[in-house]
Amino acid sequence: MNNSERAPAGSTDMHAFSQRKIRWTVTASVLLELALLSFARGSLGPYLSPLLLLGASLLTGWGAIRLSRGFTLPSYSPSASSAKRFLPWLLPLFLLLILTYQYGGIIGSVPLSVQDVSRSDIIPQVMVLVRRFLSGEFPYLPIQIWGYTLYPTYLPMQWLPFVVPELLGFDYRWMSFGLYQLAIFLLLWQARKLFRADLQFLTFSLLPFAFTAVYLHYDEALFIWTIEALIAAYYLFFALSLFSLRLLPSAGALLLTLLSRFSIVLWSPFYFLALFFSSYRGKAVRLALLTLGGILLIYVFPFLRKDFSIFLNGYHYHSIAAAVEWTPGRTGPGAVPWHLYRGYGLAVFFYEFLPGSIDFRLHALQRIHFIISLLAVLLPALAFFRQRKRYELRIFLLGSLKIYLAVFYAFIQIPYHYLYLVPAIVALPILLISWAPLSPRHSGHS
């Protein structure tokens, strides 16, 4: 007999009412976040827009944490009919083909060149790293082919996957988009496990494609000039690994996030500790060892050991780039730093209202960024460890991850538009959980 069968009728009604409130709150916050990143971006001005964006993202994470206190993920029993399981996939596959066709048309008219950095040096930098790697040259030597010196800042999993398109001769951007579509497929695979009714699954399957279509329409530059779809795929892989906490998928997905960008590094210790002090102690130890081993094998031994300065050079280059982006009048007389005023991050408040030099304001933001990001980990962690038996671990981890990413990206020193695809994509698994038929749990349930 499951928890919902044991619970009194009044308790069941209360749980259902609670889930409905959280469900619609999460839905509204996710839609608001998407709107502020697409058709309504910056529409409320450079000050209110990023505050609302942060608030919407935090509310989504809070919704997941609130659900983790009253509900647990149900067990999955597959349908007896394999044909019945396949037929609902026809609509998602059709939508995938439409998006693929649309994407091909977008990038087909914009060819790539390693020499062309007029719009962005992101993909040209990846090209240089890949070609150096394949030729046996050390990838992380300074790049000086564009009239300025660039110290490569990308971690291995941000460029190593592009060895495949380089060898096979297809557009690098198809690699990013292909892995992004794979992550969406895995999200729908998880949705199929949770939604027994075909109509529920079909309804949810529209959401990730609508999410992507809106992004493609209102921010196609993200998919043309950046590889952020690849990073978003990594974070969606990791968010989905939290549903089962299986060892190898969890370790692999965590490595992809850590070795593409260090954004998640402050949150990772809480992840390991939460597993260790729950019913996953042995798995937490093995996961930590696999993660450490992967970092050593993929980054430290082949690259960092040969030149330990590459990490510091990359970090220093980010600081130089930030100082350049913050320079007033850089794009014309009297012009303000464009990226700070687009309505994404809170850096504009430090630029506009903090007295002192640009360097002083930047360093203040960097310090606050670290402190606030640390608090975004510590506060949910304290709530969890005070009463960890009251929370469903997997849902809590997903909610705390969303909260951490919301804060981390809100205080980033150069709020480039494409970066916000990552915290936005993590909202989709939370939306799935909020609409899934969760099982009520008692406060003492572990």
Give the pLDDT confidence of 154-168 residue by residue, as tens digits. 999 999 999 999 999
Assigned domain for 446 exists: no
**How big is the CA angle at 327 (ends 355 and 408), to the nearest 5 degrees?**
75
In this predicted structure, what is the pLDDT of residue 242? 97
- Residue 203: partners with Cβ closer than 8 Å, 6 or more residues away: none
Q: What is the C-alpha to C-alpha distance for residues 180 and 315, in angstroms, rounded to an integer?
A: 27
Higher-pLDDT residue of 2, 38: 38
Region of 234 (left: φ > 0; alpha: ψ -120 to 50; beta: rest) is alpha
Report pLDDT for 4. 38
Which of 147-156, 265-274, 366-375 shows the lowest mean pLDDT across its residues? 147-156
Find the domain containing 345 and state its range: 3-327+335-440
Tell me: pLDDT of 11 over 80: no
pTM exceeds 0.85: yes
Q: What whole-number distance in Å separates Cα of residue 307 and Cα of residue 143?
A: 15
**Cα of 336 vs its chain's centroid, Å:** 29
Look at residue 444 in the predicted model and tell me its pLDDT.
45
Inside any domain, residue 445? no
For residue 187, CA distances in Å to 86, 122, 296 come to: 16, 27, 30
Q: Does 80 or 215 have the greater pLDDT score?
A: 215
The count of structural domains within the chain is 1
Higher pLDDT, 6 or 348: 348
Q: What is the model's pLDDT at position 153?
A: 86
Could you tell me what percent of the chain has a pLDDT over 90?
77
Where residue 3 falls among pLDDT bands split at 50, 70, 90?
very low
Per-residue pLDDT tens digits for 313-360 = 777 777 888 888 898 876 666 678 999 999 999 999 999 999 999 999
In tens, the pLDDT along 53-111 reads: 999 999 999 999 999 998 998 876 554 444 457 888 999 999 999 999 999 999 999 99
Q: Is residue 120 part of a domain?
A: yes
3-state secondary structure the chain: CCHHHHCCHHHHHHHHHHHHHHHHHHHHHHHHHHHHHCCCCCCCHHHHHHHHHHHHHHHHHHHHHHHHHHEECCCCCCCCCHHHHHHHHHHHHHHHHHHHHHHHHHHHCCCCCCCCCCCCCHHHHHHHHHHHHHHCCCCCCCECCCCCCECCCCCHHHHHHHHHHHHHCCCHHHHHHHHHHHHHHHHHHHHHHHCCCHHHHHHHHHHHHHHHHHHHHHCHHHHHHCCHHHHHHHHHHHHHHHHHCCHHHHHHHHHHHHCCCHHHCCCHHHHHHHHHCCCCHHHHHHHHHHHHHHHHHHHHCCCHHHCCHHHHHHHHHHHHHHHHHCCCCCCCCCCCCHHHHCCCCCHHHHHHHCCCCHHHHHHHHHHHHHHHHHHHHHHHHHHHHHCHHHCCHHHHHHHHHHHHHHHHHHCCCCCCHHHHHHHHHCHHHHHHHHHCCCEECCCCCC
Instruction: Report the alpha-carbon distance of residue 339 to residue 343 in Å, rounded.
Output: 8
How many angstroms separate the CA atoms of 425 and 431, rounded?
A: 10
Rounded to an integer, what distance in angstroms lies between the CA atom of residue 431 and that of residue 28? 10
Q: Which of 10-19, 128-137, 394-403, 406-415 has the lowest mean pLDDT?
A: 10-19
